[in-house]
Structures are given as structure tokens and as C-alpha cells.
Amino acid sequence: MLHYFIGNLGHLFVITSFVTGLLAAFSYWRASSTNDLEARLAWIVNGRASFIAHAVAVIGVIVCLFIIIYQHYFEYHYAYAHSSLRLPGQYMISCFWEGQEGSFLLWIFWHAVLGLVLMATQKQWEAPVMTIVALVQSFLASMILGVVIPGLSLKIGSSPFILLRDAMNDPIFTLQPDFIPADGNGLNPLLQNYWMVIHPPTLFLGFALTLVPFAFALAGLWKRSYTSWIKPALPWTLLAGAVLGIGILMGGYWAYETLSFGGYWNWDPVENAVYVPWLILIASLHSMLIYKHSKTALKLSLILVLSVFILILYSTFLTRSGILGDASVHSFTDLGLSGQLLIYLLFFTLGAGVLVARRWKEIPTSEKEVSTYSKEFWIFLGAATLCLMGFQVLVPTSIPVYNRLLEIVGVESNLAPPANQIEFYSRIQLWFAVAVALLSGTGQFFWWKKMDRDKLRQELLLPVLATLVVFAILMLATGVKDPAYMALMVSGLYIIISNLRVLHRTWKVNAGLSGGAIAHIGLGLMLLGVLYSAGYSKVVSLNNTGLLYNREMGTEFNRDNLLLFVNETRTMGGYDIEFLGERLEARHKSGYIKRNDVDRTDDPFQVVAKRDILFDGKKLYNAKDTFEILPENTFYEIQLRKGNTVSASLYPRIQLNPGMGGFMASPDIRRRLDRDLYTHVSAPMNRDSEPEWSEMEEVRVKLGEKFFVNDYVSVLEQVERVYQLPGMLLTDEDVAVRATIKIEGEHDTYYVEPLFLIRNQNEVGRIPSETGDLGIKIALLNIHPNSNEFSLGLQTRQKDWVIIKAMEKPFINILWLGTGLLMIGFSVAMVRRFREKGDISSTQ
Amino acid sequence: MKKSHILALLVIGSAIAIIISTAGDASTYVSFDQAFQMASSGDNNSIHVVGELKKGPNGEVVGIVKSPDNLSFSFILRDDANKEQTVYYNEPIPPDFTRSEKVVVIGGYHGERFVASKILLKCPSKYQEQKLNARV
């Protein structure tokens, strides 16, 4: 039974949201264009009703899509492609935005919420601002419209409610049009992470918030109220800066915890695409502050505010149109929306551009000469540096776009992004960061006091001295030698110390004014955190066996990976390190389970305990219990010891999801106050291919006799006749004998139980048994009743192994602390600006 | 000249400097032959080569040689001009390596050898399933 109703309803809601979006835009446009008060009120009522209907429709779309996912209606492509029966509940939310359509929906949702808030709070600005919001909404709704224009065979948007049979050309649908797959493809294992539940909504809220200042600025231009838009737009800009900033950092933190590229920031085009708008957003924020205090920099504020939203559109285009192609490791697949995305981008870019050009002469400017001792001068320099900082990232990130443009005019271009992105960007961004820190450290003094040469000298003396003293101490203590890092360190300390002084002063006057100082201290801490954790990140898993692994390549090759055989101790970074074996994860209990302690069943999700299962001294399951595991995840227990004390047990993870072609290594991080030890698997043993076993060696032993296999002491403990075997029917004449052999491993005792069978009088069968990690397989070859001896066939293979890479990240916690302070600073400032807004209702 | 003009000039100057430095640091997509010529004429910049893994008659990937310790490997890449070249890579084999449709290697020639410092895999999209798994 196909559930047509829910999909049709959802699609109806999508179309409704598009139409009501257009209606709202039209009504609000009429409302802002007419001077007739009565007509205007009527149009505003129309606009409100349409936008509320729009918001309801958006909620309707979300509810329908969520029902489809939650009820596992795999006849729908979205549920099939992004979910599965076994997907834990909380990740059903993440599969909502794994697809492009769902993430557009998320963006639309936030716009709808913000639209309602603006509608309720902005009396004067409602009509023009909402015109723009509703117009943007219509564009976004068109992305998920999924309507084919008849006659033109032009498809607009990609609907999330498309049926699987329409999305895929599988022959099964011609045979069986009502075919519903029993299970879905599942969620990409990378996204099965709690950060992926909260990072996308935060990031998209940040995206959505940039629309508000954009709409105010555009409305101001349009209605010729060139100056009054800044006041209502300012607190929204602060909120956008905070939310977008935290969204970006959550992404970085997710990458740090989940991906194994060894850091939190990779200068990937997808990361750059949100970093640049954020920098410009911060620049626009500062420019608006200049305007508020000295009525200068109005044009600059206007252009920056408009650019932020356009850059957001540009980054949407980059990541979703497929244009990045080879340049990025992760971006959405092309849904055939490139054209639509381009129209969206160009419409608002050209629209804003034309409006600015036509009104440019009318925009008031200040002819005042900027004094070097004014705060405007310093903040302006800071804003300019931020813009250049963004520009330096934007230019190379857009290389694939230049290639495409050149291709269109018929020139073949073979320009590629810089070969070493991290080095390329970090080298230059570092100096920009130094400049920003020095400027904002100094600028803060001007912000709060009138300055002249003597006063400045007086103010600066103490912070500069303190900075130099702290720098000298830190430099000697932590051995910072690189000149670029030294510069970053001095400037980072300077911004912290000078802002501490400002904080001290403002706190006494009014704690509510201290947002700026707190945010800047956070920035300084972040710079120091990045300096240490990235600049002094050190690979500790060096090959230290003294062996030249690969003669062909010589010694020039770095050996950053360490090969660990199970139960063999190596040394790494001052620790003894040992791989203890593979571990599984139970679905309903926390703790790691040894792979050797369970038997697999036909259902990959179910295992049976071979013995009592203990973890950390706690019993998780009894022998013979059947329980559920998460078969996608394998953990590799790696123990770090100093002498005889265990310093840490690390469990880096490998996730496999063959349905997605996904294979992913996630690190385990040992966190200490002053440093993280970051360890991930770089290559696991391949379990798909049959391992190479040695030639069989035969031994004759008596019960209780010891023998050696692969250097392990083993004992034949017991031989008994069995009458029942799983999966085999034994008649009365058949004989089945089971031997139990105990093998003493380094840390554990292993049992193998080979079988010897005589069936139908003379057919002899032997079923060998093996231990997982030790690489031992034993067969019961023969029974010698005369001498009470048994013949055992011993085979060995290479022991289990894993290759790991481990890095040390010093002082990374300073980065997270700085991030927290930055966000607190933003919040304090925001509260102040939202309150201030209440004073005077903005007028035209 | 007003101070603000000087500032504007400074900003424009820096922007131009950024563009020039980007142009200087940008890499290029080339074929193995071009890469070899560049290397032999003393140009040691890293370049990008796009290609496919060499396949045997049954579509299986051939020519992958692992080092005995699994820590590095070499493989044969055929670039768009159909030239085959052994590429050395100092990392363990990425697990979905043989599944990739296209491989981008970033690196350069060291003598006769092509050594990759980084490889990017273009896999059949992780987010778009290729075949329906018709388990009923």
C-alpha cells in the first residue's frame, strides 16, 4: 500500500507556501508603494494574512516530510535515501536535512519564523522589510517546488515528496509499480552524530538572520530613509554574528570529533563559503557602530550589509550547484538547481546593485576629515582588514567559478586551487589576524575616551608593557620560535590585556556595556588557542622501530602512521601503546564489547554472548544473552600506559555503511586541560578477503597436555561427544566430537572448539575453529583411542593489526574557552542594543 | 590628499596584491606529460592531475602495490590523455579507493617517479545511491 495522501498533502503545502510567499511580497509591495493610508492598511492586512498562511504551509511541509521519515514510508525517495528502519530516533532529525531539499526547508523555516517576529515588532518598517523577506521566501520555496511547466518540460525545484519510483529508473518498477523497499538506505554514518543534530539548524538560523539587516538596508534605500535603518538593523546584525559564528564553530568541532583530517578547520571551499560572509558581517557590524556614534561610514555600512547576504547567496550557489566539483571533499550533489540558484543570486545582487547605484548620490555623506586619534579611524581600519581577510579567501575559493566562466566564453582554463590549501590560507590569514588583533586592541581605548597623543601614550604604556612581559614568559615556557607565530602571540596577548583593562573600567560603570571587551578577549584567546593547537600540532605516532619499511622510497618519506599488532606493545609520544583488539557497540547499553566475546547471527544487528560480558568491571550481559549491536561501528581499543599504570584507553572508530559506499574513521580524543591526544585509525585490516593461513602443522596431544601455537601456551582441556549441533541434523548413527582447547593470550583466555564428525558411517568431517585477534585456527584431525591421543591441525595467520595516526594538540581548550567568551560578549552587546531600540521607535 | 583617500588606496593596493599572490600560488590541472616537462624544467610547484585507475579486462582495478607494512602504496593512474603513470602515495590505502570513479592526485615528479602529497577521490556519490537494494 502506497501512502499517496501524505505526499500529495505535503506537495500541496509546498505549492501553497510558494504562492502565499508571492502574495505576501506583492501585498507588502503595494502597501509600501501607496500613500493612501486606508489602501495601505488594507494591503498590510493582506500581506500579513498571506505571510501567516505561508508560515503555516511551511510548517505543514515540515510535518508531512517528518511523518514520511518517521513512519518509514520508503515509497518516498526522501525516506528511502536518507533513513532506515534501524536509525535511532534522534538521527531521524538529522536525516531531515541530509538532503538538499530538507536543508532548504530548514532555511525557509527560519525565515518564516523571523518574518513573523519582524511582522509583530516592526511597525514603521513592516511593509518594505516584509516585501523583501517574502520575496526571498518565494525564491527559496521555488527550490523545493517540484513542478514541471507543461509544454516547456521545464522543471522548477526539486520536491522532497517525490516517490521513489519517479526518482529512480529501476526495472522493478515496471514489473511492480507498487513496489516498496523493505528498508531504506540509511543515514550517512558521518552525520550520525549529535553535532549534526544541532549544527545545521544553528548555521541556517545564522544564514536566515543575515536576511534581516539586508532587508532593512534595502528597505532604507528603497524608501529613501537612508539613516534610520541602522538602528533596528544593528541588534539583528549582532545576533546574526553570534549565531553564524557559533554555527561555524560547531561545524569545526564536529569535524574535529568526527572526521579524521586531524583538525577543526581545513580551508575547504565549503568552510570558506561561510567564513567569508561571517568576516564581512563582523566588518559591517563595526561599520554600523561607527555610524551610530559619529554619523560617518554610512555608505560603507550599507554596502557591507548588502554584501553579507549576497555572499550567503553566493556560498549557497557554490556549495549546492555542483560547481566546486573536484575542488571540495564535501558539497551537495547537483540536483539540477544550478540555474535556479544562479537566478536567485543574480536577482538580489543586481537588484541591490541597481538600487544602490540609483540612490548613491542621495545618500548623505560626512565631509569630516578622519582624525588618527578618533575611534572611527581605528574601527574603520579594522573593518577594512576584515574585508581584505575575507577577500583573500574568496578569490582562490572561486577558482572553479572562473574556470566555468572562461569555459563559457570559450577559453580553456586549467587553473586549480592551491595545492596545499591549509598552508596557503593559514600563512596569509595569520598576518591579517595579527593586524585585526592589534587594531582592535588599540581601538578599544579610543572607543571609551577622547584621545590625543599624550593620553594615548599614557593609556598604552601599561598594556604594552604587560603584553611584552607575558609574551616573554610564555615564549620561554612554551618555546615559540617562529617569527610569524611570535607576532600572532604578541597581538593575541595584546588584545586580551588591553581589553581586560577596558573590561575592568566598563564593568565598574555598567556591566551591560562590557560586551565588546568580552568578545575581544574571546577573540584573543581564540587566536592563542589556534596558534598552539594548529601551529604546534605534532604527530606523535612516528615510526620508531628503526626499520626502513619501504626500501624503494628511501628515507625521505615521512612515517606518520604506526602499525600495531594486537597485544604487541610499541612506544609512542612517551607512552607504551598497545592495540587490544576490536570492539563492538551495544545499541542499548554503553560500553565496548570484545568482538571475540560474541557470536554473530544471521541478522547483523543481533549477537549472542559467548560468555559474561564485562566492561569496566560492570557486567553488561550474561553468557547466552542475545542483544542488539550497531554493526556499522567497529572500535579499536588502544591502551596507553606509562610504566604499569594505564593512562588512557582510546576507542577510535571505523564506520562502514556499504549501502552508502561510506567508510569513515573517527578519532578518539584524550582530553587533558593542557592538550588533547587525537588518535584515529588510518587503515584497518580488511575483513572481506580470506586471510592467508599458514601450512597446517599437526600435533598429537593427550588431554591436559600443553602445546604451543603461534607462541601461545595452549591446553587440550576436554573432548566430548555432542548430540546436537546448531544448523545440522544428527542421526543416531552419526558421531560428533567437540574438543575444547584453551589458549592463554597476553590479556585474555581464548577457547576454540573444533569439531570432528562421522556421518553416514564413514563420511568424516572436520570443522575447525579460530580465535579472532590471535590469528589461530585449530582443527580436530583425528582421534587415536589406543594411545588416548588426539591429532590437532594448527594453522596461523598474521595477527590482527591496525594502523593509527596520533597527534597532540596543545592548549586547544583555550580556543574553546575563547569561543565561549566571544559568544557571551555578543550576547551582552545584543541585549544592550535590543533594549536601546525600545527607546525611540524608528521613524522615517 | 585626504586621509580617507590614502586609506582607500591602501585597501585597493592590498586587494590587488592578494589577487596577484593568489595567481602565483594557484596550482594547475595538467597531464602527466606536462607535469613531467614542468618538473624537468625545474618547476617544482605541486600540480593536479585528474585520471582514472587502471582497470583490468573485468573492470577490476589493477596495479595497486602495497608496501609490506601497509603504510604506503602505489597505483597506476591513467590521465585524460591516456598516459599511464605509477603514482606513489605515502599513506595507507584509503578504504574506498578502488571504488572511485575519478582520482585527482596533487603532487609532482621526483625524478622519474610521481609522488602524490594528497589524493582526492571522486566516488560514486555517497549521497546518491546507485542501485535499489531490492530486499523485500
Inter-chain residue contact A372 with B3, CB threshold 8 Å: yes
Inter-chain residue contact A416 with B29, CB threshold 8 Å: yes
What confidence category does residue B126 fall into, taking pLDDT thresholds of 50, 70 and 90? very low
- Longest CA span, chain A: 116
List A566's β-bridge partners, or say none: A579
Residue that the C-alpha cell 602524490 belongs to? B116
Please tell me the distance in Å from B106's CA to the nearest CA on chain A.
Answer: 6
Instruction: Please state the rounded mean pLDDT for residues A108-122.
Output: 96
Residue B98 burial (CB < 10 Å; 0-12/13-18/19+)?
A: middle
| Cell matching residue B41 | 624544467
What distance in Å separates the CA atoms of residue A63 and residue A602, rounded to the nearest whole number? 36
**Pick from B2, B22, B45: which is nearest to A395 by CB?**
B22
User: Would you tell me which residues 303-342 of chain A have a C-beta closer than 8 angstroms to some C-beta of chain B?
Assistant: 326, 329, 332-333
Please tell me the distance in Å from A725's CA to the nearest CA on chain B.
Answer: 30
Query: How, if at all, do strands B84-89 and B113-122 pair?
Result: parallel
What distance in Å separates the CA atoms of residue A70 and residue A68, rounded to the nearest whole number? 6
Inter-chain residue contact A549 with B3, CB threshold 8 Å: no
End-to-end Cα, chain A, rounded Å: 59
Q: How many helices (H) and strands (E) does chain A have?
A: 20, 30
The continuous run of DSSP H or E covering B115 comes out as: strand B113-122
What distance in Å separates the CA atoms of residue A133 and residue A130, rounded to the nearest whole number? 5
What confidence category does residue A842 fall into, taking pLDDT thresholds of 50, 70 and 90? very low
What confidence category does residue A40 fall into, taking pLDDT thresholds of 50, 70 and 90? very high
| Cell matching residue A92 | 531521524
Chosen for mutation from A103, A539, A549 (greatest number of chain B CBs closer than 10 Å) is: A549
Closest to A32 in 3D by CA, of A219, A229, A232, A227: A219
Question: How many residues comprise chain A?
Answer: 844
pLDDT at A303: 95
What distance in Å separates the CA atoms of residue A716 and residue A487, rounded to the nearest whole number? 69
Task: State the Cα torsion A278-A281-A282-A285 to the nearest 10°.
Answer: -160
Inter-chain residue contact B92 with A188, CB threshold 8 Å: no
Q: Are A114 and A211 in contact (CB under 8 A)?
A: yes
pLDDT at position A844 over 50: no
pLDDT digits (tens, 9 = 90+) for A458-473: 888 889 999 999 999 9
Chosen for mutation from B132, B133, B135, B136 (greatest number of chain A CBs closer than 10 Å) is: B132
| Cell matching residue A763 | 563420511
Query: How, if at all, do strands B47-53 and B102-110 pair?
Result: antiparallel
Inter-chain residue contact B70 with A803, CB threshold 8 Å: yes
Closest to A20 in 3D by CA, of A54, A62, A56: A54
What distance in Å separates the CA atoms of residue A109 and residue A39, rounded to the nearest whole number? 30
Q: What's the one-letter identity of residue A709? A: V
| Cell matching residue A341 | 540558484
Of all residues in chain B, the one with the smallest CA distance to A378 is: B7
What distance in Å separates the CA atoms of residue A149 and residue B40, rounded to the nearest whole number? 57
The continuous run of DSSP H or E covering A21 comes out as: helix A4-33
Give the Cα-Cα-Cα angle A30, A219, A289 (nearest 5 degrees).
160
End-to-end Cα, chain B, rounded Å: 79
| H, E, C per residue of A84-151 | CCCCCHHHHHHHHCCCHHHHHHHHHHHHHHHHHHHHHHCCCCHHHHHHHHHHHHHHHHHHCCCEEECC
Q: Are A207 and A195 in contact (CB under 8 A)?
A: no
Inter-chain residue contact B92 with A803, CB threshold 8 Å: yes
Closest to A649 in 3D by CA, of A623, A674, A675, A615: A615
What confidence category does residue A259 fall into, taking pLDDT thresholds of 50, 70 and 90? confident
Inter-chain residue contact A183 with B135, CB threshold 8 Å: yes
Inter-chain residue contact A563 with B69, CB threshold 8 Å: yes
Inter-chain residue contact B47 with A419, CB threshold 8 Å: yes
Inter-chain residue contact A424 with B25, CB threshold 8 Å: yes
Please tell me the distance in Å from A660's CA to the nearest CA on chain B.
Answer: 5
pTM for the complete prediction?
0.90
Please tell me the distance in Å from B92's CA to the nearest CA on chain A.
Answer: 6
Chain A residues near residue B30 by CB distance under 8 angstroms? 414
Residue A572 burial (CB < 10 Å; 0-12/13-18/19+)?
A: buried
Chain A residues near residue B33 by CB distance under 8 angstroms? none
For B3-58, give the DSSP string.
Answer: HHHHHHHHHHHHHHHHHHHHHHH-EEB--HHHHHHHHHTT----EEEEEEE-B-TT
Inter-chain residue contact B14 with A388, CB threshold 8 Å: yes
Chosen for mutation from B12, B22, B34 (greatest number of chain A CBs closer than 10 Å) is: B22
User: Would you tell me which residues 628-687 of chain A have a C-beta closer than 8 angstroms to some C-beta of chain B?
Assistant: 659-663, 682-684
Inter-chain residue contact B30 with A414, CB threshold 8 Å: yes
CB proximity A175 to B under 8 Å: no
Q: What DSSP state is assigned to residue A689?
A: S
The continuous run of DSSP H or E covering A613 comes out as: strand A613-615
Q: Are A71 and A87 in contact (CB under 8 A)?
A: no
Chosen for mutation from B1, B7, B14, B27 (greatest number of chain A CBs closer than 10 Å) is: B27
Please tell me the distance in Å from A387's CA to the nearest CA on chain B.
Answer: 9
| C-alpha atoms less than 13 angstroms from C-alpha of A168 in its C-beta half-sphere | 25
Q: How many helices (H) and strands (E) does chain B have?
A: 2, 7
What distance in Å separates the CA atoms of residue A553 and residue A543, rounded to the nearest whole number? 15
Chosen for mutation from B45, B49, B60, B70 (greatest number of chain A CBs closer than 10 Å) is: B70
pLDDT digits (tens, 9 = 90+) for A784-801: 988 889 999 999 988 888
What distance in Å separates the CA atoms of residue A364 and residue A295, rounded to the nearest whole number? 10
The continuous run of DSSP H or E covering A498 comes out as: helix A483-509
| C-alpha atoms less than 13 angstroms from C-alpha of A830 in its C-beta half-sphere | 15
- ipTM of this complex: 0.85
**Pick from A380, A416, A661: which is nearest to B99 by CB?**
A661
User: Would you tell me which residues 685-744 of chain A have a C-beta closer than 8 angstroms to some C-beta of chain B?
Assistant: none
CB proximity A549 to B under 8 Å: yes
Q: What's the one-letter identity of residue A600? A: R
Chain A residues near residue B64 by CB distance under 8 angstroms? none
pLDDT at A658: 59
Q: What DSSP state is assigned to residue A623?
A: T
Residue A390, phi-psi category: left (phi > 0), alpha (psi -120 to 50), beta (remainder): alpha
What distance in Å separates the CA atoms of residue A497 and residue A480, rounded to the nearest whole number? 19
What distance in Å separates the CA atoms of residue A295 and residue A121, rounded to the nearest whole number? 25
Chain B residues near residue A333 by CB distance under 8 angstroms? 125, 127-128
What distance in Å separates the CA atoms of residue A357 and residue A376, rounded to the nearest whole number? 25
What distance in Å separates the CA atoms of residue A738 and residue A724, rounded to the nearest whole number? 11
CB proximity A178 to B under 8 Å: no
What distance in Å separates the CA atoms of residue A566 and residue A571, rounded to the nearest whole number? 14
What distance in Å separates the CA atoms of residue A433 and residue A72, rounded to the nearest whole number? 49
Inter-chain residue contact B30 with A659, CB threshold 8 Å: no
CB proximity A401 to B under 8 Å: no
CB proximity A418 to B under 8 Å: yes
Please tell me the distance in Å from B83's CA to the nearest CA on chain A.
Answer: 18
Look at A684 and B14; give whichever has higher pLDDT: B14
What confidence category does residue A662 fall into, taking pLDDT thresholds of 50, 70 and 90? low
Please tell me the distance in Å from A2's CA to the nearest CA on chain B.
Answer: 15
| Cell matching residue A679 | 588518535
Burial A531-550 (b: 16+ CB within 10 A, else e): bbbbbbbebbbbbeeeeebb
Look at A602 and A817; give whichever has higher pLDDT: A817
Percent of chain A at pLDDT above 90?
A: 48
pLDDT at A285: 95
pLDDT digits (tens, 9 = 90+) for A499-543: 999 899 888 888 888 899 999 999 999 999 999 999 888 888 876
What confidence category does residue A328 fall into, taking pLDDT thresholds of 50, 70 and 90? low
CB proximity A745 to B under 8 Å: no
Query: How, if at all, do strands A154-156 and A633-642 pair?
Result: unpaired
What distance in Å separates the CA atoms of residue B23 and residue A174, rounded to the nearest whole number? 53
Chain B residues near residue A391 by CB distance under 8 angstroms? 15, 18
pLDDT digits (tens, 9 = 90+) for B19-64: 998 888 888 889 999 999 988 888 878 889 988 898 888 878 888 8
pLDDT at position B133 over 80: no
pLDDT at A548: 47
Chosen for mutation from A166, A550, A660 (greatest number of chain B CBs closer than 10 Å) is: A550
pLDDT at A96: 86
Q: Are A663 and A188 in contact (CB under 8 A)?
A: no
Q: Are A528 and A493 in contact (CB under 8 A)?
A: yes
Query: How, if at all, do strands B102-110 and A538-539 pair?
Result: unpaired
**Pick from B22, B70, B123: which is nearest to A683 by CB?**
B70
What distance in Å separates the CA atoms of residue A819 and residue A825, rounded to the nearest whole number? 10
Q: Mean pLDDT of all residues in chain A?
A: 88
pLDDT at position B124 over 70: no
| Cell matching residue A245 | 559564528
Of all residues in chain A, the one with the smallest CA distance to B95 is: A663
Residue that the C-alpha cell 591502551 belongs to? A639
pLDDT at position A545 over 80: no
Of all residues in chain A, the one with the smallest CA distance to B135 is: A182
| C-alpha atoms less than 13 angstroms from C-alpha of B111 in its C-beta half-sphere | 3
| Cell matching residue A465 | 608593557
What confidence category does residue A439 fall into, taking pLDDT thresholds of 50, 70 and 90? very high
User: Would you tell me which residues 79-138 of chain A have a C-beta closer than 8 angstroms to some C-beta of chain B?
Assistant: 81, 98-99
pLDDT at position A553 over 70: no
pLDDT at A688: 65
Please tell me the distance in Å from A54's CA to the nearest CA on chain B.
Answer: 30
Closest to A632 in 3D by CA, of A262, A190, A257: A190
| Backbone phi, psi, residue A21, to 5° | -60, -50
pLDDT digits (tens, 9 = 90+) for A387-433: 999 999 999 999 989 988 998 888 888 888 888 888 899 999 999 99
Give the Cα-Cα-Cα angle A318, A319, A320 (nearest 5 degrees).
100
Among A18-32, A69-83, A592-606, B54-68, the range of highest mean pLDDT: A18-32
Q: Are A669 and A676 in contact (CB under 8 A)?
A: yes
Chosen for mutation from A164, A388, A397, A605 (greatest number of chain B CBs closer than 10 Å) is: A388
Please tell me the distance in Å from B63's CA to the nearest CA on chain A.
Answer: 16
What distance in Å separates the CA atoms of residue B47 and residue B26, rounded to the nearest whole number? 9
